Amino acid sequence: MTKSVGVMKIEEIIHNETPRLLVLFDRGQEDIVRVVAEVLGQRHVIVETLEGAAGQPDNAVLGLDNSLISQPQDIPTKSRTVITAHCIDAQDYRDENLTAFCDYEYLYTQKQFVRRDVARFMSFVLGQIKPHDDLRKKARTTLLSTTFPDIRAALPNLDILSVGADSVELRVDLLQEPTADSAVISVPSIMYVGEQVMLLRQRTELPIIFTTRCTKENGRFPMDDPMLFYTYLRKALQWGCEYIDVELWLPEGIRQKLASEKGSSRIISAWHDFSGRFKWSSAEAQQLFRDGAVYGDIVKMIALVNTTEENYELEYFRSIIQTTYAHPPLSGLNMGPVGRLSRTLNKVFTPITHPLLPMIAAPGQLSAAEINSTLHSMGQMPKLDMYAIGNVRHNGQAMFFEKCLNELSLPHQFLSIEQTSPSSIERFISRPNFGGAHINPPLAASAPYLPRLSNAATAIGQVDTVAAHTTPSGKLLIGDNATWKGIRATLTREFVPSAYAGQAALVLASHEAQAAAAIFALGSLGIGPIYTIGFKPKDSMGANIHQFRGVEDMKKVQEPLVIVSALPAEKSFVVSPLLKHYSHSANKPQSQRPGKVFVDLSNGVRGKGDSVATAASLGWTAYGIADVNAWTTVETLRLLVGQNVPFDFVRLAAGRSLYS
Ligand SMILES: O=C1C[C@@](O)(C(=O)O)C[C@@H](O)[C@@H]1O
């Protein structure tokens, strides 16, 4: 969606309508309703009956104790999205009879990260984030196939395992549910699988692919009852899995039903052939693609092969499919040792493994690092010079980028350039081996030697990243801004995007340039009005931005939901009184108190004057520069090398000294 905020053109407004939710909770668990409401930026109301939901305001999250529902079949008649929520480390009240009539099922534990997980789940099921749309824009995407009998074993290493992964596959058929008499049961229970999905989602920000691979296609799900697949895949939709893997052999009725129920989730149509006789050049291959395309948002076709020639046949097939059908994308691979070549050439959801996984999910699977080094040795990924320019060595940024290149076996090198003049930057950019640059502090977007600019860089007026794209007509350099995305990712970590729409924000800075990326990020969330302290907004920032000139101005206007301070550390003492001033609503009853967010973009003052700590102690959701920088680094790596590195890996591997 493109929206014009004054002359700032923002292309990524990511929410649409006000959510209308009814949350069913377990006895004694009404607090989850408050958390959901806070994450949505709404108030909450507890009702006693389904009928009682009728007259309630649209913009309140309604909560109802599930034990008060006597007729579950009446649930879907209400004009709200119904989510049944269960805390599974309290008494387990899950009830499939009731859940069958709900839209979604949200499982949680009382642990600290509930809020972040609630925000992600809600944003997704409400269609406010669209991971598939984001992944479709990437030149290459991967999926990490996890092969653990119990996903808990993966969790401590998940950040490392998923460096270079764009999504993570839960092989549900490989899960082994422990039983009292330690007998192995072939199909893990819905209860167990639900818990595994919950655990995985709490530990990764990656989209989850839910796979029930059948026995004939190298999995363990028995094939005698196709409805078994439907039951599990339908649950995956209710759990808000971003993708479900639907095998093509399943009866058409089941595939069609899943497609009609998929909501925000996407379907990967999957087909594997282990006969060793499949021919990519056959008419059957084309028909299989067409069949998969009927309900698939991605069509996956995988065959076990014996000769290298079959890789060439697959590439020919791929090119025909790509030129004949604009949609859906094909993920086409060959299995077995000779199929490795196809695993490097495939660009859509290439399954990857990792040396720390207990086993590979299929013969011939490669890791992200192996794919990159193979691409390099085949001449498909030439070695490039990347630059980290400016304040990059002392804060460890350049070293961290190098660490990522090593972890991913990318052939490029990072060169740190600390002393620069605009003319020297121009020199680097024009070198034939130039592969991109991270620039801190950012350059003015008006620099004449900067090639094309993204909309964000133009509107913000600053370039912190120069990305080099290979196109058929040569290298295309784009000056971009990753900082605003880092700020937006921070803001949406514990709130859904629509929580910000139409709300007020207050931005503090010594001058406009310090705040420009934050203002753009706020605008992308539909925030407004924006008030400023310490600088006069430029006219180009839009009509809904006003400068506070004194305390009187502050009293007259709506309380801000968000405060962003870009003041340098030595001036950050002005922030605490403001936080206190706007914390008065903390005295209101909890159900009417909106959550408030504070982001400090400076390095802040440690100890007593630390405004992040002050905000947190006053009940604000507070983030410091370390969080924003970690998200910005994630965005920078996506722009520079097209690879996904998890936020938690950046926080972990960058070390404590990096951003403080
Ligand atoms: O479909 C696939 C692809 C795969 O079979 C492979 O060949 O890498 C691995 C499976 O886990 C995944 O579901």
pLDDT at residue number 7: 36
Nearest CA to ligand 1 atom 5: 362
Spacing of C-alpha 306 from chain mean position:
38
- Torsional sign, CA 102, 104, 109, 114: negative
Range list for CATH 3.40.50.300 in the chain: 17-125
Nearest CA to ligand 1 atom 2: 351
Smallest CA-to-CA distance from 103 within 68, 127, 134 is with: 127
pLDDT at residue number 2: 32
The Cα–Cα gap between 37 and 43 comes to 6
pLDDT at residue number 291: 98
pLDDT at residue number 252: 98
Do 14 and 129 touch, CB atoms closer than 8 A?
Answer: yes
Q: Is the CB of 270 under 6 A from ligand 1?
A: yes
- Render pLDDT for 514-538 as a digit per residue (tens, 0 to 9): 999 999 999 999 998 999 999 988 8
For strands 21-25 and 81-87, give the pairing.
Answer: parallel
CATH topology of domain 385-481+631-659: Rossmann fold (3.40.50)
Range list for CATH 3.20.20.70 in the chain: 131-377
Q: Classify the complex by whether its ipTM is higher than 0.95, answering yes or no.
A: yes
pLDDT at residue number 425: 81
DSSP designation for 185: P
CATH-assigned architecture of domain 131-377? Alpha-Beta Barrel (3.20)
Print the SS3 string covering 301-321. EEEECCCCHHHHHHHHHHHHH
Question: In testing the pocket of ligand 1, which one of 172, 213, 221, 353 has its CB within 8 Å of the most ligand atoms?
Answer: 213
Q: pLDDT band at 13, cuts 50/70/90?
A: very low
Do 39 and 115 touch, CB atoms closer than 8 A?
Answer: yes
- Render pLDDT for 74-126 as a digit per residue (tens, 0 to 9): 988 668 999 999 999 878 899 999 999 999 999 999 876 678 999 999 999 99
pLDDT at residue number 572: 78
Residue 520: C-alpha distances to residues 274, 457, 460, 499, 515 (Å)? 52, 10, 7, 17, 9
Spacing of C-alpha 6 from chain mean position:
29
The Cα–Cα gap between 314 and 320 comes to 10
Which residues 6+ apart lie within 8 Å of 653 measured at CB?
Answer: 400, 403
The arrangement of strands across the sheet holding 81-87 comes to 43-47, 60-65, 21-25, 81-87, 104-108
Q: Is 502 helix (H, G, I), strand (E, B) or coil?
A: coil
Q: Is the CB of 170 under 6 A from ligand 1?
A: no
Joined together, the tokens standing for residue 443 give: 């350059």
Whether the pLDDT of residue 466 is over 90: the answer is: yes
In degrees, rounded to 5, the angle at the alpha carbon of residue 244 between the alpha carbons of residues 158 and 271 is 105
Q: Give percent of the chain above pLDDT 90.
A: 72
Spacing of C-alpha 461 from chain mean position:
26
Q: Is the CB of 169 under 6 A from ligand 1?
A: yes
Q: Compute, in angstroms, the gap from residue 361 CA to the centroid of ligand 1.
A: 6
Backbone angles phi, psi at 227, to 5 degrees: -65, -25
The Cα–Cα gap between 221 and 306 comes to 26
Nearest CA to ligand 1 atom 10: 361
Q: Is the CB of 348 under 6 A from ligand 1?
A: no
> From the CB of residue 595, how many other CB atoms can be counted at a distance below 10 Å?
19
- Indicate which atom in ligand 1 lies nearest the CA of residue 333: 7
Smallest CA-to-CA distance from 481 within 71, 11, 2 is with: 11
Helix orientation angle between 252-260 and 226-238, rounded to the nearest 10 degrees: 10
Q: Give percent of the chain above pLDDT 70.
A: 92
344-368 burial: b if 16+ Cβ within 10 Å, else e: bbbbbbbbbbbeebeebbbebbbbb
- Torsional sign, CA 577, 530, 131, 454: negative
Q: Is the CB of 491 under 6 A from ligand 1?
A: no
Overall average pLDDT of the 575-590 stretch: 73
- Indicate which atom in ligand 1 lies nearest the CA of residue 218: 5
Length of the chain: 660
Q: Which residues pair with 565 in a beta bridge?
A: 508, 600
Q: Cα-Cα-Cα-Cα dihedral of 334, 293, 239, 166, to 10°?
A: 50
pLDDT at residue number 181: 75
Average pLDDT, the chain: 90
Overall average pLDDT of the 273-299 stretch: 97
Whether the pLDDT of residue 657 is over 50: the answer is: no
Which residues 6+ apart lie within 8 Å of 97 measured at CB?
Answer: 72
> From the CB of residue 432, how many other CB atoms can be counted at a distance below 10 Å?
7
The Cα–Cα gap between 456 and 459 comes to 5
Overall average pLDDT of the 245-264 stretch: 98
The Cα–Cα gap between 197 and 124 comes to 15
Q: pLDDT band at 576, cuts 50/70/90?
A: confident
Whether the pLDDT of residue 5 is over 70: the answer is: no
- Render pLDDT for 325-383 as a digit per residue (tens, 0 to 9): 999 999 999 999 999 999 999 999 999 999 989 889 899 999 999 999 999 999 999 99
Q: Is the CB of 204 under 6 A from ligand 1?
A: no
Do 14 and 80 touch, CB atoms closer than 8 A?
Answer: no
Question: In testing the pocket of ligand 1, which one of 174, 218, 246, 302 has its CB within 8 Å of the most ligand atoms?
Answer: 302
Q: Is the CB of 336 under 6 A from ligand 1?
A: no
Q: Compute, in angstroms, the gap from residue 362 CA to the centroid of ligand 1.
A: 6
Q: Is the CB of 389 under 6 A from ligand 1?
A: no
Range list for CATH 3.40.50.720 in the chain: 487-623
Question: In testing the pocket of ligand 1, which one of 169, 299, 341 has its CB within 8 Å of the most ligand atoms?
Answer: 169
pLDDT at residue number 78: 65
Question: In testing the pocket of ligand 1, which one of 145, 274, 348 has its CB within 8 Å of the most ligand atoms?
Answer: 145
Tell me which residue has tokens 């009682």: 52
Domain 17-125, CATH homologous superfamily name and number: P-loop containing nucleotide triphosphate hydrolases (3.40.50.300)
- Indicate which atom in ligand 1 lies nearest the CA of residue 245: 13
Nearest CA to ligand 1 atom 3: 351
Q: Which long-range contacts (CB under 8 A, 24 or more apart) does 312-315 make?
A: 313/279, 313/280, 313/281, 314/280, 314/342, 315/342, 315/345
Nearest CA to ligand 1 atom 1: 270
Whether the pLDDT of residue 606 is over 60: the answer is: no
- Torsional sign, CA 382, 653, 160, 233: negative
pLDDT at residue number 427: 86
Do 142 and 383 touch, CB atoms closer than 8 A?
Answer: no
Q: If you classify domain 487-623 with CATH, what class do you get?
A: alpha beta
